[in-house]
Amino acid sequence: MNEPASIERLPIRTHNDIVTARHAAREHSARLGFGRAYQTRLATAVSELTRNVIQYAGEGSCLIEDQVDAQGCSIQVTVEDHGPGIPDLALALADGFSTSGGLGAGLPGTRRLVDHFQISSEPGLTRIVISIHKAL
């Protein structure tokens, strides 16, 4: 039997919103019974993606959705902004590439933290969808 999905939409406009989104992702995963390692992985991924929104686009949104069904449960997070876009996705997803002088572990590291990672980007809309899953 499917339980209704829990949905939370958060604006990402300030550094405090990064903390709020990270906390919300952790709460969703804890409520669904994900272990601490999964909670930390999801919270870290959300923190990285929302930080990128502030740094590169100025503002955006974070949508957290969870679902439970007969097979298990999942949490899907969609982070999007309406900034300049990522000109070269392949390069942005390569380990060590950075436009900000950092370590270049952001997007590639985020991709390794989650079960599903999908990104699309063009000027005016970057959307990243990540999810974690747990079988029952």
pLDDT, tens digit, 9 for 90 and up, residues 20-45? 999 999 999 999 999 999 999 999 99
Q: Model's pTM, two decimal places? A: 0.90
Yes or no: say if 91 and 80 are a contact pair by the CB < 8 Å rule. no
Residue 3 has pLDDT above 80, yes or no: no
| Arithmetic mean of pLDDT, 116-125 | 96
pLDDT of residue 104: 40
pLDDT tens figures, 49-100: 999 999 999 999 999 999 888 889 999 999 999 999 998 888 888 876 565 5
Tell me the C-alpha distance between 109 and 23, whole Å: 19
| Arithmetic mean of pLDDT, 100-113 | 71
| Arithmetic mean of pLDDT, 105-114 | 86
